[in-house]
Amino acid sequence: MVVRLRLARFGRTHTPTYRIVAADVRCKRDGRHIEQVGSYDPIPRKDGTKEVRLNSERIKYWLSVGAQPSDRVNKLLGMAGLVPVAPQQPRTLRSIPKSQREFGTSARSSRDACAIGVIGSGMPLLPIKIPSAMRLSWRGSP
């Protein structure tokens, strides 16, 4: 049985609160869980802080027996000092507004190349050719 530390959503519509739970991978997000090990309120208070409550002893236990934290829980545990802080994922060009993008000097057409680069690292942008068989169409036609 593979166990993950993940968030289970509770609360009202447009007012979410999350429980940090140890759950079997095969169970639904808000379904059956093994143990609740914390809670997270993503809505900031008036002073701008978000509330996170963790049972550090139980979290350390679940990590020691091989439970894998989800990405968001891993980030929360890293901020609490229970696990090493995960490196920040590089941003792709599609997540940056066109007016702020830096394009490489490539003569390829924009249809045949996709520029991917790490923002703020000083690395050059690398054009990567995407085969036509891998292109996706939003209308479902090839």
Residues 28-79: pLDDT tens digits? 778 778 899 998 998 888 888 888 898 889 999 999 999 999 988 998 899 8
Q: How confident is the model at residue 137 (pLDDT cuts 50, 70, 90)?
A: very low
Overall pTM > 0.85: no
pLDDT at 117 over 80: no
51: nearest Cα among 11, 22, 13: 11
Q: What is the mean pLDDT of residues 84-91?
A: 77
The answer for residues whose C-beta is within 8 angstroms of residue 7's C-beta and 6 or more apart is 18, 19, 20, 21, 29, 40, 70, 72, 73
Return the H-helix or E-strand segment holding 11: strand 3-12
Q: How confident is the model at residue 81 (pLDDT cuts 50, 70, 90)?
A: confident
Q: How confident is the model at residue 103 (pLDDT cuts 50, 70, 90)?
A: low
Q: pLDDT of 125-136, one tens digit each?
A: 445 444 544 444
| Choice between 107 and 37, residue whose per-residue pLDDT is larger | 37
CB of 95 closer than 8 Å to CB of 116: no
Alpha helices per DSSP H over the chain = 56-64, 71-80
| Choice between 58 and 100, residue whose per-residue pLDDT is larger | 58
